[in-house]
Amino acid sequence: MLRFCRLHQSHLESCRATFGDDREDYDTALQRHYAEGVPAQWRDSFVSAYATTHPWEDFAESFAHYLHVVDTLETANAFGICI
């Protein structure tokens, strides 16, 4: 996420507002995730339970889901399935 935003500095604050502050120590966040588990209401704000781990994981999980949706729609289109 940060590398993308470095290329597009104007997007950095928007990314942090959406996914969280990527400057948080990843190892600390990972240890907290495994020690405390996921927040009770994680489904209200995250695409997966693992996305709650750290802003990098939130971005990665969200982008992966986006790619799955696009791939599914392209596959449907290739087989002539109209949605």
Q: Note the pLDDT tens digit of each residue in 17-74.
A: 899 999 999 999 999 999 999 999 999 999 999 999 999 999 999 999 999 999 999 9
Within-domain flag for 6 = yes
Domain that holds residue 54: 2-78
Within-domain flag for 42 = yes
Domain count, the chain: 1
With a cut of 80, say whether residue 9 has pLDDT above it.
no
**CB crowding 47-69: b at 16 or more within 10 Å, else e:** bbeebbbbbbbbbbbbeeeeeee
Note the pLDDT of residue 44: 96
Note the pLDDT of residue 83: 61
Within-domain flag for 83 = no
